[in-house]
Amino acid sequence: MKRKCFWRNPGYKACKPLTGHHKTRYLIIGGGVAGLFIAHYLLKKGVKKITVIDKGIIGSGSTGQSAGMLVAQLETAPIERLATLYGRRAAVRYAQALKDAQGEVRRLIRKGEIACEYKKHSLKFFKNESGKGKHLEESISVNPIKFIQGMAQYLRSRGVVIYENTSLRKVQENIAVTPQGTIRFEHIAYALGTSVRHKTLENYVTTICVTRPLSSKKIRRLRHAGKEMFFHDERQSYLYGKITQDRRLLVGYGDVRRKSTGAAARLHVPHVRSIKRYIRRAIGANVSVHRAWSAAYSLSKKPLPYVSVSRGIIGGAGTQIATIAIASYLASAILGEKHPLNRLFTDR
Ligand SMILES: Cc1cc2nc3c(=O)[nH]c(=O)nc-3n(C[C@H](O)[C@H](O)[C@H](O)COP(=O)(O)OP(=O)(O)OC[C@H]3O[C@@H](n4cnc5c(N)ncnc54)[C@H](O)[C@@H]3O)c2cc1C
């Protein structure tokens, strides 16, 4: 078993780091799903002169290490809870924003012809491991690194400037300072994933194992049991997974709090043990795990992600679809435009 992320995108050519001085109107720090979707929504509104920088390569944070299950529901903000807290109308708007975000992903993949192993699945939700489970909703499966880097290529083809391996050191008035250059900007947005610091945000480590390719018989058995794409709501944690395009079983498990920032984490061995037990029960003893990795993501302690329009920061959405929904909101807010989520997100 290799202690390494499974996802690869061999065709991707990274952008050069920033050197010298650059001028832009909209500067976005962070090239994960949050940062790229802020750029995307700004671009859709006809905005020009957008620049994104990332301290690593695009997708090197939580986004490229995720399971690539783009689900518009689940654990982070159950609609019933939002309805109690903020009223039924606001909760319905949030649910709709998540659906819209999912639709936007589909449109983008189609329009940008992004080759990312896109597949539509009906996600099956299990209350516990022994239960029958029910089909929840139509969801999207992608290879997350191909998706996000494919999106970066699409944005570049539309005029967005991207600098990779370019870390933000500090901001002095409207100049962003990086190790080898500076960027003068008019508006700035921070989409730093686990590096965003705010009292309402916490970082969690979760782990994924991917098996070697499975026999047709095993794949049939998994499909029959509703494991094409699934989610188990265990009392203490949760198990999630899917069948990959090359016929492997991917299973994710666990959420352990951690204090440090950065998306990469040491492999969490107890998580791996739990996942292996699960795989044994699902498809039998003689299945070996090919790759396993742990990574961190940021989650809000509150039912809603953290968005500060005045400081241009987003984080803590927990899932990619929720992140995309708030990216849409922040892009509108930056331009001073109305958005269905206006009433939910005031600076908190
Ligand atoms: C193992 C795992 C599995 C997951 N599976 C799923 C899933 O199946 N479905 C789902 O919806 N969600 C999943 N998630 C959660 C999801 O991946 C994250 O919520 C989401 O990707 C966060 O996106 P982001 O853009 O906010 O953060 P990131 O993707 O972490 O992006 C932040 C970027 O900012 C950059 N950055 C940080 N500091 C600086 C700096 N100073 N200068 C420049 N750049 C900087 C980083 O390099 C990084 O690329 C999973 C998370 C993990 C860890």
Model pLDDT for residues 264-306, shown as the tens digit of each residue: 889 999 999 999 999 998 888 778 899 999 999 999 999 899 9
192 lines ligand 1 (CB under 6 A): yes
pLDDT at 348: 46
Q: Please check whether residue 106 is in contact with residue 94, taking contact to mean a CB–CB distance below 8 angstroms.
A: no
Is residue 128 predicted with pLDDT exceeding 90? no
Domain membership flag for residue 295: yes
Ligand 1 center to 287 CA (angstroms): 30
Cβ of 178 below 6 Å from ligand 1:
no
Is 175 a domain residue? yes
Please state the domain count of the chain.
1
Task: Tell me the one-letter amino acid at 211.
Answer: T
CA atoms of 277 and 265, how far apart (whole Å): 22
* Among the listed residues 55, 72, 59, the one whose alpha carbon sits nearest the alpha carbon of residue 114: 59
Q: Percent of the chain, pLDDT > 70?
A: 95
3-state SS string for 253-286: EEEEEECCCCCEECCCHHHHHHHHHHHHHHHCCC
Residue 26 or residue 131, greater confidence: 26
pLDDT tens-digit readout, 186-244: 999 999 999 999 999 999 999 999 999 999 999 999 988 888 999 887 666 688 999 99
AA identity, residue 30: G
Residue 297 covered by a domain: yes
Are β-strands 229-233 and 119-126 bridged in parallel, bridged antiparallel, or unpaired?
A: parallel
Give Cβ neighbours of residue 76 (< 8 Å, ≥ 6 apart): 299, 300, 303, 305, 317, 318, 319, 322
Is the CB of 51 within 6 Å of ligand 1?
no
pLDDT tens per residue across span 30-59: 999 999 999 999 999 999 999 999 999 999
In a domain, 9, yes or no: no
For tokens 């994924």, what's the residue? Answer: 208
In 281-345 the beta strands, taken as DSSP E runs, fall at 289-300, 306-308, 313-315
Q: Do the domain assignments include residue 14?
A: no
Residue 133 Cβ < 6 Å to ligand 1: no
Cα 159 to Cα 151: distance, rounded to the nearest angstrom? 13
Verify whether ligand 1 is closer than 6 Å to residue 143 (CB atom).
Answer: no
- Chain mean position to CA 69: 9
Nearest CA residue ID for atom 14, ligand 1: 66
Task: Please say if the pLDDT value at position 153 is more than 80.
Answer: yes
Once rounded to an integer, what is the mean pLDDT over residues 53-73?
95
Give the residue, out of 143, 244, 297, 300, with the most ligand 1 atoms within 8 A of its beta carbon, to mutate for a pocket test. Answer: 297
Residue 347 lies in a domain: no
Residue 4 lies in a domain: no
Q: Identify the residue whose C-alpha is closest to ligand 1 atom 2.
A: 66
Q: Domain of residue 244: give its range.
A: 20-334
Q: β-strands 313-315, 306-308: how paired?
A: antiparallel
Q: Average pLDDT, stretch 328-346? A: 91
Q: Write down the mean pLDDT value for the chain.
A: 92
Per-residue model confidence as pLDDT tens digits over 82-98: 888 888 888 899 999 99
Question: Using CA atoms, how far apart are residues 124 and 223, in angstroms rounded to an integer?
Answer: 11
Q: Is residue 2 part of a domain?
A: no
CA-closest candidate to residue 55, choices 190, 198, 168, 183:
168
CATH of the domain at 268: 3.50.50.60
Token pair of 207 as six digits = 């782990």
How many CB atoms are closer than 10 A to CB 38? 29
Q: Is the per-residue pLDDT at 171 higher than 70?
A: yes
